[in-house]
Amino acid sequence: MPTMPIEPALLADSPSWKLGFSLPQRYYIDESVFQQDLQILESGWILIDHGSRIPNIGDFFTFKIGNESIIIVRGRDGVINALYNVCRHRGSLVCLESEGSKKAFTCPYHAWTYDLTGALKAAALMQPDFNKDQYGLKRCHIREINGLIAICLSDEPPDLDPLVATLQPYLKLHGISRAKIAARRSYPTAANWKLLIENFGECYHCAPAHPTYASVHAKQKMLAIGAGFGSADEAITNEYLPEYEAWTAHSKSLGYPTGRNRSPIGSGRLTESVDGKPVSTLMGEFKEYDGGQTGMGLGSRTGTLLANNDYAVIFRFVPRSALFTDAEAIWLVDKDAREGIDYDVDSLIRVWDVTLREDKTITENNQLGVLSKSYQPGPYSRQEQALVRFTSWYATKMAEQANRKTG
Ligand code: FES
Ligand SMILES: [Fe+2]
């Protein structure tokens, strides 16, 4: 099985740290490291939500990361705009609500008023030669991909097109563009964002820490590809391949795209529910259940989509400080599915809601231990190969930043 190449990378200030070990303490606790982390994350695309959150003209929500607050608003042309929530007069936040619907945004300080594209429309008592055209809200890069909203705070966003092209067959298969939000839940977690990402990137902890999740997913599958292909040791993965390939052939015979980001839940289950039975109506191109699920990372490592046959979940991890991260899950169903008839929110969210509550607890305990003077980087297991790649990526990004500063 091909595995992703692992670049050798070291942290300049921690010469004894080796790839294959968790990070040195300061990378999980230090505020100055956290500021560098924000720069890394803000230079990439961030998956933030689904467009069905703001279906009508003027519907908006604000998204905050680091020092930035971004207004995400649907314009009169139906297109979603992403605007820096910073008044062009003297810099006040313009919009103080977290979501709602507006015809225009009026700054609470001196009442400069902006339209849904961010253009300045009114600025009372300014001098006659004041040119409103030069003082619109600054725009942030935004992409709407089959209904998924991603933003990038960099002036030069990385090219997202190759990834979008790769994901397109799967986004279509799961009908993500014609989905609606059925539920959202927050899991505010007192831990560094990297501990949440690491936790989400391995299934070594699934059996000991997630009894519900472990009762839903077949054991061998959890061991082999619990956090996706490449998350476990190659030998363990190879043992699972015959079962995986039999399922792939079945899914293919139903006419569905297959690939390493798709896998069966296992044990004859149709979807990721407590009893394996459907929890909503089929989505997208599914005509019958194949019992598979599809993982789709979109841009940054802080957002990912996991899609079953009848529902999908967006997982979002937004760093707030060195020791705090807002985790959020957004459950999607087909837009025509009726609450109380086709789906029941409690049943729909149960497996992941329980799992994410458990993740909050284990990650907070992880952070408490990492704060101890006795903490030192520990070795990743054969089941945590994705974390080797994550820390390698992270160390490389940190080195790039250091080079940029000195260069
Ligand atoms: S700071 Fe917004 S109108 Fe003055
Ligand atoms: Fe977990």
According to the model, what pLDDT value does residue 139 have?
98
Q: Quick one: which ligand is closest to 94's CA?
A: 1
Query: Residue 125 C-alpha to ligand 1 middle, in angstroms?
Result: 12
126 Cβ below 6 A of ligand 1:
no
What is the per-residue pLDDT across 38-74, written as a single tens digit (0 to 9) for each? 999 999 999 999 999 999 999 999 999 999 999 999 9
**Token pair in block for residue 38:** 């924000």
Mutating to test ligand 1, I would choose from 92, 125, 138 the residue with most ligand atoms within 8 A of its C-beta, which is 92
Closest CA to 88 of 59, 128, 126: 126
Instruction: Please report, for residues 153, 341, 406, the alpha-carbon distance to residue 83 in angstroms, rounded to integers and kept in the order given.
Output: 10, 38, 32
Look at the alpha carbons of 101, 104, 105, 109 in this order and tell me if their dihedral is positive or negative. negative
For tokens 């087909």, name the residue.
334
What is the per-residue pLDDT across 259-316, written as a single tens digit (0 to 9) for each? 999 999 988 999 999 999 999 999 999 999 999 999 998 877 899 999 999 999 999 9
Asked if 50 contacts 181 with a C-beta cutoff of 8 angstroms, the reply is yes
130 Cβ below 6 A of ligand 1:
no
CA-CA distance, 359 to 353, in Å (whole number)? 10
**Token pair in block for residue 376:** 């030192």
Q: Quick one: which ligand is closest to 358's CA?
A: 2
SS (H, E, C) the chain: CCCCCCCCCCCCCCCCCCCCECCCCHHHHCHHHHHHHHHHHHCCEEEEEEHHHCCCCCEEEEEEECCEEEEEEECCCCCEEEEECCCCCCCCCCCCCCEEECCCEECCCCCCEECCCCCEEECCCCCCCCCHHHCCCCECEEEEECCEEEEECCCCCCCCHHHHHHHHHHHHHCCHHHEEEEEEEEEEECCCHHHHHHHHCCCCCHHHHCHHHHHHCCHHHHHHHECECCCCCHHHHHHHHHHHHHHHHHHHHCCCCCCCCEEECCCCCCCCCCCCCCCCCCCCCCCCCCCEEEEEECCCCCEEEEECCCCEEEEEEEEEECCEEEEEEEEEEECCCCECCCECHHHHHHHHHHHHHHHHHHHHHHHHHHCCCCCCCCECCHHHHHHHHHHHHHHHHHHHHHHHHHC
Mutating to test ligand 1, I would choose from 89, 126, 130 the residue with most ligand atoms within 8 A of its C-beta, which is 89
**pLDDT of 8 over the 70 cut:** no
110 Cβ below 6 A of ligand 1:
yes
- Kindly report the pTM of this predicted structure: 0.95
Of residues 226 and 250, more confidence is placed in 250
Query: Residue 51 C-alpha to ligand 1 middle, in angstroms?
Result: 29
Number of C-beta neighbours around residue 243 at 10 A: 16
What is the per-residue pLDDT across 128-166, written as a single tens digit (0 to 9) for each? 999 999 999 999 999 999 999 999 999 999 999 999 999
Residue nearest to atom 1 of ligand 1 (CA): 90
What is the per-residue pLDDT across 76-110, written as a single tens digit (0 to 9) for each? 999 999 999 999 999 999 999 999 999 999 999 99
According to the model, what pLDDT value does residue 2 have?
47
Q: Quick one: which ligand is closest to 354's CA?
A: 2
According to the model, what pLDDT value does residue 14 have?
87
Of residues 228 and 153, more confidence is placed in 153
103 Cβ below 6 A of ligand 1:
no
According to the model, what pLDDT value does residue 230 have?
86
Angle at alpha carbon of residue 114, lines to 112 and 115, rounded to 5°: 155
CA-CA distance, 353 to 209, in Å (whole number)? 14
Consecutive H or E run containing 150:
strand 148-152
- pLDDT confidence of 407, banded at 50, 70, 90? low
Rounded average pLDDT over 367-396: 95
Closest CA to 362 of 202, 232, 231: 202
Query: Residue 127 C-alpha to ligand 1 middle, in angstroms?
Result: 15
Query: Residue 123 C-alpha to ligand 1 middle, in angstroms?
Result: 9
Number of C-beta neighbours around residue 12 at 10 A: 11
Number of C-beta neighbours around residue 237 at 10 A: 20
According to the model, what pLDDT value does residue 50 have?
98
Q: Quick one: which ligand is closest to 357's CA?
A: 2
Beta strands in 174-311 (DSSP E): 179-189, 262-264, 292-297, 303-307
Q: Quick one: which ligand is closest to 137's CA?
A: 1
Query: Residue 360 C-alpha to ligand 2 middle, in angstroms?
Result: 8
According to the model, what pLDDT value does residue 200 have?
95
Asked if 88 contacts 136 with a C-beta cutoff of 8 angstroms, the reply is yes
Ligand 1 atom closest to Cα of 87? 2
Mutating to test ligand 1, I would choose from 87, 96, 121 the residue with most ligand atoms within 8 A of its C-beta, which is 87
For tokens 């390493």, name the residue.
260
Consecutive H or E run containing 328:
strand 324-334
Mutating to test ligand 1, I would choose from 71, 106, 110, 114 the residue with most ligand atoms within 8 A of its C-beta, which is 110
What is the per-residue pLDDT across 339-377, written as a single tens digit (0 to 9) for each? 999 999 999 999 999 999 999 999 999 999 999 999 999
What is the per-residue pLDDT across 200-225, written as a single tens digit (0 to 9) for each? 999 999 999 999 999 999 889 999 99
Query: Residue 67 C-alpha to ligand 1 middle, in angstroms?
Result: 18
According to the model, what pLDDT value does residue 233 have?
84
**pLDDT of 1 over the 90 cut:** no
Beta-bridge partners for 60: 73, 100
Mutating to test ligand 1, I would choose from 88, 96, 109, 132 the residue with most ligand atoms within 8 A of its C-beta, which is 109
With b for 16 or more beta-carbon neighbours within 10 A and e for fewer, the 193-222 pattern comes to: bbbbbbbbbbbbbbbebbebbbebbbeebb
Q: Quick one: which ligand is closest to 200's CA?
A: 2
What one-letter code names the amino acid at 314? Answer: I
330 Cβ below 6 A of ligand 1:
no
Query: Residue 225 C-alpha to ligand 2 middle, in angstroms?
Result: 14
Query: Residue 345 C-alpha to ligand 2 middle, in angstroms?
Result: 21
* 404 φ, ψ (degrees, to nearest 5): -60, -40
Query: Residue 129 C-alpha to ligand 1 middle, in angstroms?
Result: 18
CA-CA distance, 363 to 381, in Å (whole number)? 17
